[in-house]
């Protein structure tokens, strides 16, 4: 049973001191490695690892081809500004190939997990000589996996998987007692800019979690474009998280006076504290229709945009 530390009880300075010592002790003279996705959790754990290990920590971004527009480059630049060297590993093709023909949501998550850890990361770890992997798993990831709601791609021990045996490395998860609000506080204390610690969550399976049905390079382009537009409209909403989803079903539309059996984008925007429960943000109808018009105008093939008005539960934040 993992002992939760709520944001109210979190003394960030002491927590950092404790975790820095624990990480140093666990790593010893070895090399430690971590992957940065640009999300709040991996960014915070990168800063924590950097504080503990300096150049003994190797940080990589695995460009899996399922990230948002310009993401690997932007995150690398921010971390370089913070004195943390980040290497981008190009792996788009490997992920695209692995995702071919996969439509089941849980199978998609499993394929991404296997591809990430076994096919790409294990090789990077081997080459680096690192014995330890630092990971930003948080308590919410564990809860949902154990409850069987969703298999979070970064949860092993809770699933009875020994990462040392399965993938060849030991995993440290120093954020596992925290939830998102606590991680944000910690990230702030560790010197992350507000652009990063205040960032909306983004899941490990990336845009693949926002595509219902097969994840193809073409469908990724569609959801990536819609995401960029939607994020521009909602960035000042103050919401916990927002997302654009590409549906599998097509619907009849009309463009230039002709029938266009086109694509559907669903927008979700959530009010939540820790992602365990969530309600939709009451966005203005003007904002919604202006955003919808831009999406149908600028994202090829899209003829329908909907806004989700159900809550979690029974919904979940992501669609897969
Ligand atoms: P759900 O969809 O389960 O999401 O309501 C709750 C929160 O978790 C994020 N999420 C993930 N984060 N790996 C992650 O790192 C994952 O596999 C994953 N799946 C969901 C989701 O974005 C939301 O903030």
Residue 275 Ramachandran class (φ > 0 left, ψ -120 to 50 alpha, else beta): left
Enter the tokens of residue 106.
């849980």
pLDDT at residue 21 greater than cutoff 80 = yes
Give the span between the Cα atoms of 269 and 308, in whole angstroms. 8
Measured from the CB, is residue 274 less than 6 Å from ligand 1? Answer: no
What is the tens place of the pLDDT at every residue in 227-254? Answer: 999 999 999 999 999 999 999 999 999 9
pLDDT tens figures, 247-294: 999 999 999 999 999 999 999 999 998 888 999 999 999 999 999 999
- For the CA of 315, the closest atom of ligand 1 is 5
Query: What is the rounded average pLDDT for all residues in the chain?
Result: 93
- Whether ligand 1 lies within 6 angstroms of the CB of 277 is answered as no
- Classify residue 212 by its DSSP letter: S
Q: What residue owns the CA closest to ligand 1's atom 18? A: 203
Our answer on whether the CB atom of 201 is closer than 6 Å to any ligand 1 atom is yes
CA of 258 to the centre of ligand 1 (A): 39
Strands 57-63 and 258-271, sheet pairing: unpaired
Question: Is the CB of 241 within 6 Å of ligand 1?
Answer: yes
The predicted model gives 211-218 an average pLDDT of 98
Task: Tell me if 39 sits within 8 A of 62, measured CB to CB.
Answer: no
Pocket test for ligand 1, best of 158, 212, 308, 317 (most atoms within 8 A of CB): 317
Pocket lining: 183 vs ligand 1, CB cutoff 6 Å: no
Distance of alpha carbon 101 from alpha carbon 215, whole angstroms: 8
Ligand 1, atom nearest to 202 Cα: 22
28: left (phi over 0), alpha (psi -120 to 50) or beta: left
Q: Is the pLDDT of residue 157 over 90?
A: no
Question: pLDDT tens across 64-107, in order?
Answer: 999 999 999 999 999 999 999 999 999 999 999 999 999 999 99
* Complete DSSP assignment for 20-34: HHHHHHHHTTS-EEE
Is the Cβ atom of 187 under 6 angstroms away from ligand 1? no
Ligand 1 mutation target, pool 275, 280, 312, 313, most atoms within 8 A of CB: 275
Rounded to the nearest angstrom, the distance between the alpha carbon of 141 and the centre of ligand 1 is 7
Q: What is the pTM of this model?
A: 0.88
Question: Is any atom of ligand 1 closer than 6 Å to the C-beta of 152?
Answer: yes
According to DSSP, the β-strands at 302-307 and 258-271 are parallel
Q: Ligand 1 in contact with 143 (CB < 6 A)?
A: no
pLDDT at 145 over 80: no
Average pLDDT over residues 132-146: 88
| Cβ–ligand 1 contact at 13 (below 6 Å) | no
Asked if 185 and 175 touch (Cβ cutoff 8 Å), the reply is no
- Within the chain, residue ranges assigned H as helices are 12-27, 40-53, 71-81, 92-99, 105-114, 122-128, 139-146, 163-166, 180-189, 194-197, 217-234, 285-298
> How much distance in Å is there from the Cα of 318 to the middle of ligand 1?
7
Residue nearest to atom 20 of ligand 1 (CA): 203
Poorest-confidence range of 96-105, 152-161, 308-317? 152-161
Decide if pLDDT at 153 tops 80: no
Q: DSSP label at 13?
A: H
* pLDDT band, very low/low/confident/very high, at 44 (cuts 50, 70, 90): very high
Average pLDDT of the residues in 106-122: 91
Q: Is the pLDDT of residue 161 over 80?
A: no
């Amino acid at each position: 049973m993992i002992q939760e530390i709520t944001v109210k009880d979190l003394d960030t300075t002491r927590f950092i001191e404790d975790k820095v010592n624990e990480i140093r002790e666990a790593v010893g003279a070895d090399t430690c490695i971590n992957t940065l996705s640009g999300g709040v959790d991996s960014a915070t754990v990168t800063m924590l690892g950097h504080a503990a290990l300096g150049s003994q920590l190797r940080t990589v971004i695995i460009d899996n081809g399922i990230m948002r527009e310009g993401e690997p480059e932007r995150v690398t630049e921010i971390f370089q500004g913070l004195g943390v060297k980040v290497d981008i590993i190009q792996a788009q093709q490997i992920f695209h190939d692995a995702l071919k023909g996969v439509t089941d949501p849980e199978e998609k998550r499993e394929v991404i997990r296997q591809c990430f850890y076994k096919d790409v990361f294990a090789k990077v770890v081997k080459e680096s000589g690192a014995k330890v992997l630092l990971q930003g798993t948080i308590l919410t990831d564990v809860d949902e996996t154990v409850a069987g709601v969703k298999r979070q791609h970064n949860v092993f021990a809770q699933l009875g998987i020994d990462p040392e045996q399965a993938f060849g490395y030991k995993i440290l998860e120093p954020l596992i007692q925290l939830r998102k609000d606590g991680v944000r506080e910690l990230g702030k204390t560790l010197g992350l800019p507000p652009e990063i610690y205040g960032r909306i969550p983004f899941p490990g399976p990336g845009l693949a979690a926002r595509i219902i049905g097969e994840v193809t390079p073409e469908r990724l382009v569609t959801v990536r474009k819609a995401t960029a537009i939607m994020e521009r409209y909602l960035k000042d909403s103050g919401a916990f998280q927002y997302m654009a989803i590409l549906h599998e079903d097509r619907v009849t539309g009309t463009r230039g006076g002709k029938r266009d059996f086109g694509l559907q984008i669903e927008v979700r925007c959530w009010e939540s504290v820790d992602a365990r429960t969530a309600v939709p943000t009451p966005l203005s109808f003007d904002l919604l229709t202006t955003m919808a018009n831009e999406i149908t105008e600028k994202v090829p093939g899209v003829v329908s945009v909907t806004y989700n008005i159900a809550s979690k539960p029974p919904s979940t934040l992501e669609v897969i």
